[in-house]
Amino acid sequence: MKARLLPLTVTGSALAMGFVIWGCAGVGGTVTPSDQMPLMCATEAPPAEEIASVEAFVASQVGSFPPNVPIVVPIYFHIITTNEGVGDVSDAVIAEQMVALNAGFAGTQSPGGFDTKVSFTLAGVDRTANSAWYTCARDTAEDRAMKTALRQGSADDVNIYVRDLPPGIGGWGGFPWWYAGDPIMDGPEVDNTGMPGASSGALGDLVVHEVGHWIGLYHTFQGGCEKNNDYVSDTPAEEHYNWNCPTGAIDTCPQRRFPGNDPTMNFMDYTADSCKYQFTSGQTTRLQSMWVTYRKGK
């Protein structure tokens, strides 16, 4: 197991002396004072019609996918601060984030991970003091202006925007098939407190999770107890996301047609950073196919 999370006092109506989970929003259970507080993001499941169209198209391209070849992704970090410099993220933190990101995709964060053959190289870091961008809402004129000014590369370069997101939100991202329709807005945004070493105790898996979406992975709990759920055969179906660090097996879809315990150790679930360490073979096949279809050389 990885290092334990540190306690965090959460203000307002949130939990006192709870813990933060970094991931994306989904349908979950009721949070009690003994639970870790999920810090949501705005990466939502696409409409059913969009999912069906994407899955059909990718399936039609299967013959063009080479078997699990190495993928090297350039990554740009854009650090946004207030005009006075509040919210800066150091080069040391970015270096620690790169280690966590590469370890997550290589399957080496903890025994039981799977090597996806995806690695990341740091292509650039820039810092911009702009209070309007620092706290702007998603998909606003300020958000677009920020990305228009800062975005680097093309479809196969990942741009990470680190700034102050609204209370209760750790990050948001998008899917690779969205790039062609709006290239400027491609790339995850994450809260600066979700970077490794922050007071939240984050270990870097927020970025691993969001980049998983960027390459084409859904949440493991998408669709709940349905046949296709996340379109990966070796991530057992989950009725809803899990949080905390589960101490025993959990099976939220116990019906016979959904064998297997919830993949609470998976980066695309919602458990704490200290308990997530795995992508699977099936997720690797999916992200490789998504890469070739929507990002490689685009």
Assign residue 138 the CATH number of its domain: 3.40.390.10
Tell me, yes or no, whether 15 lies in a domain. no
Q: Please tell me which residue, 170 or 81, carries the higher pLDDT value.
A: 81
Tell me, yes or no, whether 4 lies in a domain. no
Q: Of all residues in the chain, what percent are helix, strand and coil, respectively (each to 5)?
A: 30, 15, 55
Q: How far apart are CA 7 and CA 75, in angstroms?
A: 30
Tell me, yes or no, whether 151 lies in a domain. yes
- The predicted model gives 133-154 an average pLDDT of 97
Tell me, yes or no, whether 280 lies in a domain. yes
% of the chain surpassing 70 pLDDT: 85
- The predicted model gives 223-248 an average pLDDT of 90
Task: Return the pLDDT at 246.
Answer: 85
Q: Please tell me which residue, 2 or 133, carries the higher pLDDT value.
A: 133
The pair of structure tokens assigned to 215 is 């390459």
Chain center to CA of 194: 11
Catalytic residue among 189, 210, 238, 239: 210
Tell me, yes or no, whether 5 lies in a domain. no
- The predicted model gives 261-290 an average pLDDT of 92
Tell me, yes or no, whether 6 lies in a domain. no
Our answer to whether residue 210 is catalytic in this structure is yes
- The pLDDT-based confidence of 45 (bands split at 50, 70, 90) is confident
Number of domains the chain contains? 1
Q: By the 8 A CB rule, do 97 and 158 touch?
A: no
SS3 call for 189: strand
Q: Is the pLDDT of residue 147 over 60?
A: yes
Interacting residues of 235 by C-beta distance below 8 A, sequence separation 6+? 220, 229, 263, 266, 268, 280, 282, 283
Tell me, yes or no, whether 111 lies in a domain. yes
Q: What is the pLDDT of residues 177-231, one digit of tens each?
A: 999 999 999 999 999 988 998 766 689 999 999 999 999 999 999 999 998 999 9
Tell me, yes or no, whether 186 lies in a domain. yes
The 8 Å CB, 24+ separation contacts for 166-170 are 166/137, 167/12, 168/14, 168/39, 168/40, 169/39, 169/40, 169/41, 169/42, 170/20, 170/22, 170/23, 170/39, 170/40, 170/41, 170/194, 170/206
